[in-house]
Amino acid sequence: MQENAAPDLNNPEYYLNRELSLLAFNRRVLELAQDPRVPLLERLRFLCISSANMDEFFEVRVASLKQQLQLDVASIGADGLTPTAALKQVTSTAHALVDCQYKLLNEELIPALRKEQIYFVRRTHWNEEQLTWLSDYFDRELMPLLSPLGLDPAHPFPNVINKSLNFIISLQGTDAFGREIDTAIVQAPRTLPRIIRLPEGMGTSNDSFVFLSSILHAFIDRLFPGMEVSGCYQFRLTRNSNMYVDEEEIDDLLQAMQGELPHRNYGAVVRLEVADQCPQDNINYLMEQFHLSEQDVYNVTGPVNLNRLMAIADLVDRPNLRFTPFRPAPSLAERHTNLFDLIQQRDVLVHHPYQSFQTVLDFIAQAASDPAVLAMKMTLYRTGKQSELVKHLLRAARAGKEVTVVVELRARFDEEANIGLANQLQNAGAHVVYGVVGYKTHAKLCLVVRREGEQLRRYVHLGTGNYHPGTAKIYTDFGLLTCHPDITEDVHKVFHMLTGLGRMRDLKHLLESPFNLHQTVMDKIQRETEHALSGKPALIRARMNALIEPQVIAALYQASQAGVRVEMVVRGVCCLRPGIPGVSDNIQVRSVMGRFLEHPRVFYFSNDGEEELYCSSADWMPRNFFRRVEVAFPILDAKLRQRIIHEAFELHLQDNTQAWELQADGLYLRQQPEDEQETPVSAQSSLLKLLGNN
């Protein structure tokens, strides 16, 4: 009897579409907003996050698909979908997702907020006192900032800024010059708050709010004296926000990025959001102005800038409607006055936010003030505009230490902030470089060189997340502090490659993109495959934000067919289909989501008992393997390795309250205890108890 032929791993049916998988991730974010077990204000926050995610999805992913169609450049992925076919499915899914967002807001969250004495007061419900106050507010705070733009041959359609709040106004009558004008545009300045709290005692409760759009609707006619306003409708545009800088044709990347940033607000329009009561004639007019089709229009039953509701979480002081506050474990500097002495004794692992990011800041602060420290080198991808970390680097540079900083100017949506900090560092005397042309520097590295007696000793911090104190409070990440001579030597070589642009010499422990990370991952998957084929136990565990790279997926399929157990925790996009009979039976993929954004990248290979575990800045995506400078670093200490296995994998694979299991058809099923006897497990809650100071 002839054996079954090996499956064709190039079969598009074995791969999920990247854009559709990204929308599935945003659906899971929305499910957190729908979950009544989540505190009410946190549900509202998750709704806003899902809205902000959709903005970026259109600005980047949909914009790329549309640009491929415009340029007639068909980039077909492993899933086999053409840009046309992908865009059709994406549009259908996105419309359904947006409908769910507004249904949740209107039918669940607003009524639930009302029960908690948090009100959004509609225009139709304003009493005389409120009407008088809001009328005065319009005249005092809004009128001086608004510029109505009548549309006629001398006044063409204005440039509308990306994601700004705008109104299309229907008019009757003539202006001061006797001209008949039937349409005008009013743009709401970004400086204006989108939600206004009514004065104390004026609302049903002290948490009574009015939307800016409601105030503008009510008094917009004051901008058009002598004319009749017959309609006023919100709309909002989402534009292509990809930045296009031809690095081969420029001499100064900093100057080129500064010149490109303003264009982000005026890229090609990819989506029109408009109030659901807006007449079709007005919608058609807007579609014509921005060269859009019906599928690009999203009629919404509520504020078009949904993510601005995030302000409510800051304006309302109701701790009972939020997650219970947590305190991270104290920074190591609170117990060890000299971190360098501690790191000499042992490697230090920190797991944020359960353990304080202050440990990393203290490491950099102590290096900046320690007279024995001679040099500091660091990569910066995202840091925040007023970062304490940058202040420490500035202090070190002004103190005469050799400070070298690799600043990534092309960190999406942080370009402007990074240009600013690059200028600050240069002015303080630091050496600033912008990485390598054509390759974003995404590795998270800090190197400190310290004189100790007759020798120089290197200390390093390597991380899976950015050097950003703000996001470190809500993103989960691992960081390693070590003075292991081989690892610190490897980090030294990486910095020499980044700043001197010489060839990468052999690294003893680190894996680096774009040189050997991809091939090494492939080799280690193949090694597990060979172990399984020879009858040995074989296990691969991988944790990341996204799994897209088709060669790695095909290698995992081969490993599964050989009998390797593959356990994956992939927060966001996953193009691998688990559970396909004969192809991926042995692969499990789950996504864990909760109050913290899961962000670590961890790769584990059992290796016939000689287990290996790496933490990394890199997801398994083509850009991370081939178009970025990334680093994966091994955890050599056996105790720390076991700790990461437990914290990064075992708890998340046991989670049955905040985990979604990916099915072969691309759907995610939320996990829950099978019966009352099964103990509920939340990985994040367990880690708060295990590591936090609670």
User: Catalytic amino acids?
Assistant: 442
Question: What residue type is assigned to position 429 of the chain?
Answer: G
Handedness of CA 408, 413, 415, 416 (dihedral sign): negative
Contact in structure between 627 and 549 (CB atoms under 8 Å): no
Kind and range of the H or E run holding 402: strand 402-407
Contact in structure between 452 and 372 (CB atoms under 8 Å): yes
Question: What residue type is assigned to position 391 of the chain?
Answer: K
- Burial class of residue 319, CB neighbours in 10 A (0-12, 13-18, 19+): exposed
Number of H helices, E strands in the chain: 21, 27
599 annotated to a ligand binding site: yes
Omega before 353 within 30 of 0, i.e. cis: yes
Rounded Cα–Cα distance for residues 285 and 168 (Å): 10
Rounded Cα–Cα distance for residues 584 and 402 (Å): 51
Nearest alpha carbon to residue 630 among 409, 412, 465, 489: 465
628 annotated to a ligand binding site: no
What is the 3-class SS of 531-581, one letter each residue? HHHCCCCCEEEEEECCECCHHHHHHHHHHHHHCCEEEEEECCCECECCCCC
Give me the long-range contacts of 141-144 (CB less than 8 A, separation at least 24): 141/192, 142/192, 142/212, 142/215, 142/216, 142/219, 143/222, 143/223
590 annotated to a ligand binding site: no
CA 415 to chain centre: 15
Cα separation of the two ends of the chain = 64
What is the 3-class SS of 452-507, one letter each residue? ECCEEEEEEEEECCCCCCCHHHCEEEEEEEECCHHHHHHHHHHHHHHHHCCCCCCC
CA 110 to chain centre: 27
Nearest alpha carbon to residue 12 among 79, 77, 75: 79
Nearest alpha carbon to residue 268 among 244, 293, 238, 243: 238
212-217-222 Cα angle (round to 5): 110
In DSSP terms, 630 is beta-bridged to 513
Rounded Cα–Cα distance for residues 322 and 324 (Å): 6
Token readout for 159 is 């440039």
Contact in structure between 603 and 613 (CB atoms under 8 Å): yes
194 annotated to a ligand binding site: no
Question: What residue type is assigned to position 295 of the chain?
Answer: Q
Rounded Cα–Cα distance for residues 558 and 561 (Å): 5
233 annotated to a ligand binding site: no
User: Residues marked as binding for ATP?
Assistant: 53, 475, 571, 599
User: Residues marked as binding?
Assistant: 53, 382, 412, 475, 571, 599
User: Residues marked as binding for Mg(2+)?
Assistant: 382, 412
